[in-house]
Chain A
Amino acid sequence: AQKITQTQPGMFVQEKEAVTLDCTYDTSDQSYGLFWYKQPSSGEMIFLIYQGSYDEQNATEGRYSLNFQKARKSANLVISASQLGDSAMYFCAMRESISGGTSYGKLTFGQGTILTVHP
């Protein structure tokens, strides 16, 4: 079964507007972590933001925020004030079983969403 689902293959946004990239996940673990990565056309994987399942506040990092709705099992990425440089592929990922001092939990990725920012 797909553990991470990104239902939007492609998204378009006007420069300076906000955009939400959807991510839903499936796990029976109580302790897990959710990550978003950006992959520009150059190919490197860039970490953007992290949300732990027990974190009470939604994570924010500059223009990135994570809209975490635990009951719905969703972890949507919100990019505010989009810039041309935000055009890229975005991946949602989950690591299960993160409790304890050492975690060897594997990171599972969604299929990705291609974001295009128009001037």
Chain B
Amino acid sequence: NAGVTQTPKFQVLKTGQSMTLQCAQDMNHEYMSWYRQDPGMGLRLIHYSVGAGITDQGEVPNGYNVSRSTTEDFPLRLLSAAPSQTSVYFCASRLAGGPSGANVLTFGAGSRLTVL
């Protein structure tokens, strides 16, 4: 199994450019999410989805859009990149049902984004 696959691993953007970070999982997980990691701040939730067609905002959603048209894919869009969005982005997924308390979030390898 590939698990959670994120692309690209590295990206440099200029202020105002747009881009999409791709995330795909092959574990049939209902729940998918995007986090950003910044020094001294841990990981903060941007957006999440509990199934195809259902998305919701996390702690830091401004400047980001998401959609979930299939169970497998959960892309993160930056419509107009800003230097404050320079960060490492992680996509993560997990099962929602069953012994849900112990369902572990599985992370992708991360995408390092620099906005100049």
CB-contact partner of B101 in A47, A91, A95, under 8 A: A95
Contact call B104/A47, Cβ cutoff below 8 A:
yes
B69-99 with Cβ < 8 A to chain A:
88, 90, 92, 96-98
Interface check A81, CB cutoff 8 A: no
Q: Would B100 and A111 count as touching, CB distance under 8 A?
A: no
Chain B interfacial residues counted at CB < 8 A: 28
Q: Is the CB of B101 within 8 A of A103?
A: yes
Q: How far, in angstroms, from A90 to B38 measured CA to CA in the complex? A: 14
The answer to whether the Cβ of B2 comes within 8 Å of any Cβ in the partner chain is: no
Chain A interface SS verdict (over half): loop
Interface pair B101/A110, CB less than 8 Å apart: no
Report A-chain residues with C-beta under 8 Å of the C-beta of B44: 109
Task: Give A55 to B33 CA distance when docked, in angstroms.
Answer: 27
Interface bits A51-64 vs B (CB < 8 Å: 1, else 0): 01000000000000
Q: Collect the chain A residues with CB atoms within 8 Å of residue B97's CB.
A: 101-102
Q: Which of A2-35 contact B (CB under 8 A)?
A: 4, 9, 31-33, 35
A103 touches B96 (CB 8 A): yes
Within the assembled complex, what's the spacing in Å between the Cα atoms of A104 and B49? 9
Instruction: Please tell me if the beta carbons of A104 and B90 are within 8 angstroms of each other in the complex.
Output: no
**A84 located at the interface, meaning its Cβ lies under 8 Å from any Cβ of chain B in the complex:** no
Complex CA–CA separation, A9 to B39 (angstroms): 11
Using CB atoms and an 8 Å cutoff, list the residues of chain B in contact with chain A.
31, 33, 35, 40-45, 48, 50, 58, 88, 90, 92, 96-98, 100-107, 109-110
